[in-house]
Structure 1
């Protein structure tokens, strides 16, 4: 007799789980029903800023597998259908068709919760006015592109591409990427940032490098600026964003203020949540205390392998891996997701930004004593054409020399160097052990001493000097 797997959420974690389970179990052994409230499935939300900015030509290029393709693989994906209740005891979910309003219950033998994250919206007057946009999903991206096209066609704010003004609220990954996208479309861009420096996932000294580069690109960044109100014109549309100190005119506003786990259904069902509001799972991604319920993606908390604490990190890399783990376990195989080290990369125009491991603040919060070093180097041998500057910051535990974190800001060739540090963190290497790594060298790719190894050498000396 066949079992039924129900999946809530049709993007990275949910559909990776469904697809992997289908590879392992035939339709006769396992029926799969997936619910997605949007129009699309298995798409790259990380690519939305590049679609908006014109680097990616069309929405369809961001879709890895359409609903029709999933259905052709015997996965019963129901789009525009929202799950409104999870009944764990009776093993069923209630859903509503968003087009017809029809509601029904669907029973399950196994359940996967992949409800993702919801964007944080500042609780200020006017935040829901026309012209204020989030960029959480493809529908959001399309709505923003349509609004930008209308503004550009109407010549709002001035003649041609001149005079159009955009305000981005938030200076994290999405904020700086959307600032680049709007700059590429010819907008005058102002970024309002609550923190001391942009990219709060970096230490402030590294964030200052990002700020300086953004200024050099023509993006105005205002730090320590909390939004107090979104102002509208006679037509009800946004006209400016206000802080305590100033009003910033805007033809369009984009929110890049971060996300939090979307676990409303899980909380109402009595499933366990952590300090960040994310679902808690074991290494197999099974929800703690529930043998037939799994969860993955942006709605869960995961173990930070460096600090030893649970964290919420919303990244597509984790979501896809966790989905594969869930699908393997649901399908009768075995897999685990042991945790992460917090690796992330981004860019704003030609500036590359990377981090992995702990920042100084995070290391202090878990009681670690550490040393820090910062080095300036280049992406290639200094004499080779195209060599670009790069700054590498490294944290190491004071007593043991264990690597705790690395941050890199630079031009071409900077960001992906963080992968060396990510591997070292996962392997719990010391900075002295890192100095012996046999990394590739040729003048077009690196100096004789790669910048990451230069930082490791300097960190080794700092550990020794600290006794």
Structure 2
């Protein structure tokens, strides 16, 4: 009887364990041995839920864990925790791993899955590594942050005094962490070096987010490039400095985005894109390799609207990548065609969403377009609880093809972006969108849904060009 093929997985979260689980469904242990390495303490968890755990909306850490290491092992996956991959030998088909206590060994593979994720951007500034400064990407990061907050409360004698949080960066991570600290009763300052928050939106839509954040009591300082984290005589963060001012802080959170964690791949000579993410084919196989696969936050994917590769670190894609990799290793067949760039978030009761291209992205790839903005309401205007919503839509000149949508509004605004995401996948024009048969009742929408109002205005705009 032939020896079992060995699948080695580096990374025990969404992509890695989805790949392992899917491959195990398709092949028995006698056919495929699966060994996975995770350098942290947790497996298969929702990193997207960390801000809501920090805020207290999710009361228990374990509610974010979909499957524990013990559960994976019971299903025939040899998952080894607190074990880091430190070197990859592509020619020898082996990985050198280091356990927590420092013991190292080489592990051979027949199939390798690189699911190393992403790491928070941490600029080389004075004081950036001080106690009280946190990046929030993994469950371990979230636990470290909460443990640090608890120590701070104890040091302050129970936490009855004023508590101040400074969030550096006003992207998705930044605004979600700002909300988390508002919910915890902190005075929150957000420092953003750009002229508007949310660089994932066009400036006019980002301005709406800025106005809303200020109205929520979140001091949002724009054009504020951080120069230093100031520390006290015990080496703990006490303030964040910009060129113009200092902002006192009991805790500092970095919300500057993430970059692909691909140092291992880079040192092994595997192909990387402009963002530093691994390059793969449609089957999620690393380009130029027969038996190395990758997915999740450490890869670049194709943007179906622009036709350009892009780093899109989202759990939705990571889980899909894992399913595809596992299917292919398990003897089936699956592909990942690309993304349209859909994302949704919120800060307190403000919902923020986008899909497709921004104006700058459309211009960068040579597209000519019309852009329109409409203001409407989330429900029929006369229905109790209706809230304002702004929708921006981009459409290509002449063809009228939908290029992108951005939404900023209150309750029930954000998920409307899914209408546009489906339209983008289908290659619809804005004229075609105006005929969409969407659900209507006064508690849910005006008779003309705001997305369709924007489509009508965009259709008229492209007809005049």
TM-score using structure 1 length = 0.98
Partner Cα separation in structure 2 for residue 93 and residue 122 of structure 1: 30
Return the offset for 1:150: 2.3
Deviations 1:114-158 (Å, cap 9, x if unpaired)?
A: 0001111121100000010111111111111111122233337xx
1:83 corresponds to: 85
**2:385 maps to which residue?**
386
Q: 1:85, 1:93 within 8 Å by CA — same for their partners in 2?
A: yes
Following superposition of structure 1 onto structure 2, how do residues 232-243 of structure 1 map, counting pairs within 5 Å? 232-243=231-242
Find the counterpart in structure 2 of residue 208 from structure 1.
207
SS in 2 for 1:242: strand
Match of 1:106 in 2: 107
Aligned pairs for 1:50-449 within 5 A: 50-98=52-100, 100-155=101-156, 160-449=159-448
After superposition, what is the alpha-carbon deviation per residue over 1:328-369, rounded to whole angstroms, capped at 9, x for unaligned?
000000000000000000000000000000000101110110
2: CA distance, partners of 1:160 / 1:332: 57
TM-score normalized with structure 2 length: 0.98
Residue deviations 1:162-182, cap 9 Å, x none?
Answer: 421110001001100000111
Q: Secondary structure at the match of 2:373?
A: strand
**For residues 202-227 of structure 1, what are the alpha-carbon distances to aligned partners after superposition, in whole Å with 9 as ceiling and x for unaligned?**
00110111111110110000111111
Separation in structure 1 between the aligned mates of residue 73 and residue 96 of structure 2, nearest angstrom: 21
| 1:72-124 deviation digits (Å, cap 9, x = unpaired) | 000000000000111111111010001x2110011111000000011111211
SS of structure 1 residue aligned to 2:296: coil
Alpha-carbon separation, structure 2, partners of 1:207 and 1:255: 20
Q: Please state whether the residue corresponding to 2:142 is helix, strand or coil.
A: helix
**Partners of 1:275 and 1:77 in 2: how far apart?**
32
User: Is the 1:162–1:187 contact (alpha carbons within 8 Å) kept by the matching residues of 2?
Assistant: no
Question: Structure 2: 5+ residue runs without aligned partners?
Answer: none
> How many angstroms apart in 2 are the aligned matches of 1:344 and 1:461?
27
The answer to whether the Cα contact below 8 Å between 1:285 and 1:325 also exists between their aligned partners in 2 is: yes
Q: Provide the rounded CA distance (Å) in 2 between the counterparts of 1:318 and 1:241.
A: 35
Deviations 1:220-271 (A, max 9, x none): 0011111101100111111110000001011110011111111111111111
Alpha-carbon distance, 1:160 to partner: 4.6
Q: How far did 1:192 drift?
A: 0.4
Gap change, CA 1:20 and 1:131, over 3 Å in 2: same
2:90 and 2:124 mapped to 1: Cα distance?
A: 33
SS in 2 for 1:437: coil
Q: Is the 8 A contact 1:161 1:186 kept in 2?
A: no
Query: Offset at 1:67?
Result: 0.4
2:28 to 23, 26, 29: 26
Q: Which secondary structure does the structure 2 equivalent of 1:298 belong to?
A: helix
> Secondary structure at the residue paired with 1:4?
strand
Q: CA RMSD in A?
A: 0.9
**Partners of 1:240 and 1:249 within 8 A in 2:** yes
Query: Quick one: distance in 2 between partners of 1:118 and 1:328?
Result: 27
Q: 1:83 to 1:37 in 2, by over 3 A?
A: same
1:60 and 1:54 map into 2 onto residues whose CA distance is: 13
**Would you say the 8 A contact 1:298–1:314 is kept in 2?**
yes
The answer to whether the Cα contact below 8 Å between 1:167 and 1:250 also exists between their aligned partners in 2 is: yes
Alignment gaps of 5+ in structure 1: none
What is the CA-CA distance between 1:441 and the residue it aligns to? Answer: 0.4
Cα distance in 2 for residues equivalent to 1:247 and 1:33: 49
Task: Give the distance between the partners of 2:384 and 2:315, measured in 1 at CA.
Answer: 35
1:161 Cα shift? 4.6
Aligned-residue offset at 1:196: 1.3
Number of residue pairs matched by the alignment = 463
